[in-house]
Amino acid sequence: MGSYRLLETAVIFLLATVIAVPIAKRFRLGAVLGYLLAGVVIGPAELHLIADPSRASDISEFGVVLMLFVIGLELSPKRLWVMRHAVFGTGLLQVLVSGLVLGTIAHLGFGLAPNAAAIVGGSLALSSTAFGLQILGERKEASSAYGRQSFAILLFQDLAAIPLIAAVPLLASTSSRHGVDPMAVARTVAVIVAVVIGGRYLLRPVFRFVARANSAEVSTATALLVVMGTALLMEKFHISVTLGAFLAGVLLADSEYRHELESNLEPFKGLLLGLFFISVGMSIRIDLLLQAPLLVLGFTFGLLLVKGLLLWPLGLKPGGLHRSDALRLAVLLACGGEFAFVLLRQAMEQGLIAEQEGAMLVLAITLSMALTPVLVAVTAKLIGAKKKQAPQRPFDTITVDHPRVIIAGYGRMGQIVARILRSRKIPFVALDHSVEQLDLVHRFSNDNDIFYGDPARPELLRAAQADKAEVFVLATDDAESSLRVARVVHRQYPHLKIIARARNRQHVWRLMDLGVEEPVRETLFSSLKMSRKALEALGLSAEEATAEVERFRRKDAELLKLQYLVYDDEAKLVQTTREALADLNQLFEADAEIEAPPTKGPDADTPLVASNEEPGTGKA
C-alpha cells in the first residue's frame, strides 16, 4: 500500500510539472511560477490530490541543499574579487537597508518580536534570482548596465541567504531569553571551522581517488555523498543543512572537479528544486486571499513599493545608473525571492513566527513574483514611450577636422574599425545614438573621436563634414536604423563609399536596394573561420580546409546575388535556393573524388587566401 501511495504521489508531481511549467513558460511567467501553480492546484487547497504536503517537502528541501551547493561552486574567490565593488558595495547596501527597513516595519507596524522581525526583514530583502536572470535573458538585457548591476545584487543576495539561514536556529534559541546563547554560537562556529578545514584537506584527495576509477556513476555518487554527508553533519549539530552544502561548494569552487560536479548534480538539482517549489505551492493558503483580499494585496504591493523605493536611489548613487535604468532595476528586484520561502518555513518550524503570519507572507511573495514580469514589461513600454516623446538631445559639437572616414555605431564592430584607423593615423569621426554606450566607452578610454548623435540626422552629418569624407562605415547593430542611415547618406552624399554591416541575408538585400554594393554579414567570416578550424581538427590539411571553405564562400556569394533578384517573390526565392544548394552538393561530391589543389580553388585564375588569414576576403 505504501509503495502504491509513493508511486501515485510521484506520478501526480510529474504530471503537474509536465502540464504547468510549459504553460507558465508559454506566457513568459517562468518555470518557478509554473511549479508554484502546479503545487497550488494539486495541493490540499484545491484538488486535494495530495493531502499532506509535509511529506513531499521533507524530500523536496534537498533540492534547496543541492542548489546551495551549486551556488557555492560558482562563487570562486577569484570571481568574487573581480566583482567585489558591485557585489559587496551595492549588493551589501541593498540587503542591509532593505532588511532594516522591512524588519522595522514588521516590528513596529505589526508587533513582531525583534528576532522574528529580523528574519522577516532579511527574507523579504532578498529577490528572486531565478526570475531576475530569466527576465534579463529573455529581454537580452543581461549585458546592459542595469543588467550587470542587477546580477551583482542578486549574487550578494545569494551570499546573504546563507548567514540568514544559519541565524534562524540561533535566533529561535534566544527567543525565550534576553541574550544570545553563547553555547549555540560556539557550537555553530566550531562545526563550520571543522567543515572548512576538513573539506580543504579531504575533499580533493577523495575526488582525485574517485577520478582514477573513470566512472561517471561513481563520480555522481561521490558528489551526492559530499552534499548529503555535509548536510547530515550540520543537522546532527542542529545547524542549517543548507549552510553546510554551501560551504562544501565554496571549498570546491576553485578545484579542477568543479565543472564535472556541476554537470553531475544539475539533473538532481533541477528536479528536486522543482519539487521544492511545488511543495511551497501546496502550502500556499489561497483561502487567505479569498478571506482578506485587501490585506493580502496590501502586503504584496507594499512589499513591491517599499523595496522599489529603496532600490531606485541605490541605482542612482554617484557613478551609478541613469534614471531609466535605475527604475528598471528597482522594478526587476522589488519582488520576493525563493530563499524567502526557505527562511520563512524554517522560522515557522522553529516557532519564530506564527503559521498564519508565515502563510500570509508566503502568499504575498508569490503574488509579487507573479506580478514582476508584467511590471517589467509595462515599465519598458513607459520608458520607451517617454523616450519617443522627449525632445531629442542636441548632438555633440564635433571638433575633428577633415575626417576621411565616418563611423556610424560605436559598438563591437565600430570600435575595431576605429582602432585600426587610429593605428594608421587616419582621421575619422565616430557617431553613436546611445548615451549608455558613450558613457561606457569614455569610462574605459579617452577616445576623443566619438560623439553623440543620430547618424540619420542631416544636420549631424553636415557637422561631421560628410561632404569631405571618403568612406562611411555603417556599423550599427539595429537593422532598421542601419537602413534609415544608409538611405539618408546615399541620397545626400552619393560620393561616399558605404561599407555596411548586415545582420542577415534579408538585411543584405535591403542594403543592396539602397546602393550598398557589398554589405558585410557580421557572422560570415567568423563562421567560415570556425568551419576551417573544425575541418583541420578532423584531420584535413590547412590547404584542404581552406580550399573547402573558400569554395563554399564563393558559391554562397553567387547564391546571395541570385536570391537578391527574386527575394520579394517567396516561391521563386525557395526554388532558387533549393536549386543552388543542389548544385553546391553536387560540386562537393565531385570535388571529393579529386584532390583539391593546395593554393587554387576550382577556378584556376582565383587564388585562395593563405591559411593563416581570414577566409573570404573577396566579395561577401
Among residues 530, 547, 522, the alpha carbon closest in space to that of 601 is found at: 547
3 state DSSP class of 315: helix
| Residues 327 and 314: beta-carbon distance below 8 Å | no
Residue spans of alpha helices (H) in 390-523? 412-423, 435-444, 458-463, 479-492, 505-513
Q: Would you say 353 and 116 are in contact if contact means Cβ atoms under 8 Å apart?
A: yes
Rounded to 5°, the CA angle 253-255-257 comes to 100
Q: What is the pLDDT of residue 122?
A: 93
Q: Is the pLDDT at 308 greater than 50, yes or no?
A: yes
pLDDT (tens digit per residue) in 455-513: 888 888 888 889 889 999 999 888 888 998 999 998 899 999 999 999 888 889 889 88
Is the CB of residue 470 less than 8 Å from the CB of residue 502? no
Q: Is residue 600 predicted with pLDDT exceeding 70?
A: no
State the CB neighbour count (10 A cutoff) for residue 576.
18
Per-residue confidence (pLDDT) for residue 180, from 0 to 100: 54
pLDDT per position as a tens digit, 226-252: 878 887 888 787 776 777 777 777 777
Residue range 426-451: average pLDDT? 78
User: CA dist 476 to 454, 456, 485, 505, 541, Å?
Assistant: 11, 11, 9, 16, 37
CA-to-CA distance for 39 and 56, rounded, in angstroms? Answer: 11
Q: Is 369 exposed, middle or buried (0-12, 13-18, 19+ CB in 10 A)?
A: buried
Q: 229 is written with which cell numbers?
A: 554527508
Report pLDDT for 601.
39
Written as nine digits, the cell of 541 is 590539411
**Which of the two residues, 114 and 321, has the higher pLDDT score?**
114
Among 38, 250, 36, which residue's Cα sits nearest to residue 131?
A: 36
Distance CA 13, CA 8 (A): 9
Count of helices and strands (H, E) across the chain: 27, 6
Answering whether pTM is above 0.75, one says: no
Domains along the sequence of the chain with CATH: 1-378 (1.20.1530.20), 405-592 (3.40.50.720)
pLDDT confidence band for 300 (50 / 70 / 90)? very high
Residue 177 has pLDDT above 60, yes or no: no
User: Which residues sit opposite 471 in a β-bridge?
Assistant: 405, 497
Higher pLDDT, 21 or 238: 21
pLDDT in tens, 530-543: 999 999 999 999 99
Backbone angles phi, psi at 472, to 5 degrees: -120, 110
Return the pLDDT at 607.
35
Q: Examine the pLDDT at 619 and tell me if it is beyond 50.
A: no
Beta carbons of 121 and 127 less than 8 angstroms apart = no
DSSP lists the bridge partners of residue 619 as none
Residue 77, Cβ neighbours under 10 Å: how many? 10
Q: Give pLDDT, residue 603.
A: 39
Contact between 502 and 519 under an 8 Å Cβ cutoff? The reply is: yes
Indicate the SS3 state at residue 500.
Answer: strand
Mean pLDDT across the chain: 79
Enter the C-alpha cell of residue 17: 510539472
Q: In this structure, are strands 450-452 and 471-474 parallel, antiparallel, or unpaired? A: unpaired
pLDDT score recorded for residue 174: 63
Give residue 76's pLDDT band: very low, low, confident or very high (50, 70, 90): low
Could you say which DSSP state residue 608 is in?
A: P
Q: Which of 533, 553, 556 is nearest to 544 (CA)?
A: 533
- CA distance linking residue 37 with residue 41, whole number of Å: 6
Strands across the sheet containing 450-452: 450-452, 428-432, 405-408, 471-474, 497-502, 520-521
Residue predicted with more confidence, 32 or 109: 109
Handedness of CA 14, 20, 24, 26 (dihedral sign): positive
| Residue 53 confidence (pLDDT) | 58
Work out the percent of the chain whose per-residue pLDDT is above 70. Answer: 80
The three cell numbers of residue 26 are 508559454
Ordered alpha helix ranges (H), 292-354: 293-315, 323-333, 338-349
Range among 221-225, 236-240, 310-314, 598-602 with highest mean pLDDT value: 310-314
**SS3 assignment, position 407:** strand
Query: Closest by alpha carbon to 41, among 355, 261, 277, 225?
Result: 277
Distance, CA of 226 to CA of 207 (rounded, Å): 10
Distance CA 543, CA 203 (A): 48
Question: Which one-letter amino acid corresponds to residue 172?
Answer: A
Question: Residue 459 CB: number of other CB atoms within 10 A?
Answer: 11
* Cα 497 to Cα 482: distance, rounded to the nearest angstrom: 15
Secondary structure letter of residue 432 according to DSSP: E
- Quick one: pLDDT band at residue 380, thresholds 50, 70, 90? confident
The count of other CB atoms within 10 Å of the CB of residue 97 is 16
Res. 155: pLDDT tops 70:
yes
Which set of grid coordinates corresponds to residue 600? 587554387
Round to whole Å and give the CA distance between 128 and 126. 7
Which pairs from 369-372 meet CB under 8 Å and 24+ separation? 369/32, 369/33, 369/36, 369/128, 369/131, 369/335, 369/336, 369/337, 370/29, 370/33, 371/300, 371/304, 371/335, 372/128, 372/131, 372/135, 372/331, 372/332, 372/334, 372/335
Of residues 13 and 347, which shows the higher confidence score?
347
pLDDT of residue 345: 84
- What grid cell was written down for 573? 526565392
- Other C-beta atoms closer than 10 Å to the C-beta of 318 total 4
pLDDT (0 to 100) of residue 595: 46
- The mean per-residue pLDDT over the stretch 212-236 comes to 80
The pLDDT of residue 473: 95
Distance CA 35, CA 30 (A): 9
Confidence (pLDDT) at 175: 54
- Lowest pLDDT segment from 49-63, 117-131, 244-258: 49-63
Phi/psi of residue 600, nearest 5 degrees:
-125, 150
> From CA 413, how far away is CA 519, in angstroms rounded?
14
At 304, is the pLDDT very low, low, confident or very high (cuts 50, 70, 90)? very high
Q: Quick one: average pLDDT of 514-520?
A: 87
pLDDT of residue 588: 58
Cell numbers found for residue 340: 524567502
Interval 416-427 mean pLDDT: 90
CB 122 within 8 A of CB 343: yes
143: enclosing H helix or E strand: none
